[in-house]
C-alpha cells in the first residue's frame, strides 16, 4: 500500500514540477512579447512625430498624392461587395 502511495505522490510531484516549468516559460515569453510590442509602439510614435513635422512642408495636394489614396466610402464599399451565391426566385 505504501508503494502505491509513494508512486502516486511521485507522479503528482512530477506533474507539479512540469506545470511550474511551463508557467515560468509562459511568463518569460510574455515578457519578451511585451518588450517587442513596446519597441514597435516607440517606433510608431517616432514615425508619427516625423510625419507631423514634415506635413506642414507638404502643402500642395499633388505632393501628397503618392502618400494618400483618396477614395470615397462608396468606392471602397463597391470593391468589397460580391454577387450573391444564390439566385433570387422570381414569382
Q: What is the pLDDT of residue 6?
A: 78
CA distances from 28 to 22, 24, 35 (A): 10, 6, 11
- pLDDT score at 59: 57
In a domain? residue 38? yes
What does the alpha-carbon distance between residue 77 and residue 81 come to, in Å, rounded to a whole number?
A: 6
| Per-residue confidence in pLDDT tens, the chain, 91 aa | 677 777 788 888 888 899 999 999 999 999 999 999 999 999 999 999 988 887 666 555 556 666 666 566 665 555 666 667 777 777 6
Are 72 and 78 a contacting pair, CB within 8 Å? no
Identify the pLDDT of residue 38.
Answer: 96
Rounded to 5 degrees, what are φ and ψ at 86?
-105, 140
C-alpha cell at 62: 499633388
Rg (CA), the chain: 30
User: Is 12 inside a domain boundary?
Assistant: yes
Cell numbers at 30, concatenated: 510574455
Q: Within a domain: residue 90?
A: no
What's the pLDDT at 5? 75
In terms of residue numbers, what domain contains 59? 2-78
Does residue 53 lie within any of the structural domains? yes
**How many domains does the structure of the chain reveal?**
1
Check residue 57 and give its pLDDT. Answer: 66
User: pTM here?
Assistant: 0.46
Amino acid at each position: 500500500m505504501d508503494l502505491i502511495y509513494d508512486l502516486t505522490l511521485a507522479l503528482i510531484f512530477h506533474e507539479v514540477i512540469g506545470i511550474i516549468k511551463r508557467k515560468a516559460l509562459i511568463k518569460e515569453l510574455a515578457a519578451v512579447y511585451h518588450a517587442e510590442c513596446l519597441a514597435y509602439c516607440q517606433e510608431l510614435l517616432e514615425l508619427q512625430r516625423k510625419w507631423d513635422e514634415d506635413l506642414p512642408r507638404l502643402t500642395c495636394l499633388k505632393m501628397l498624392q503618392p502618400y494618400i489614396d483618396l477614395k470615397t466610402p462608396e468606392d471602397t464599399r463597391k470593391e468589397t461587395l460580391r454577387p450573391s451565391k444564390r439566385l433570387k426566385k422570381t414569382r
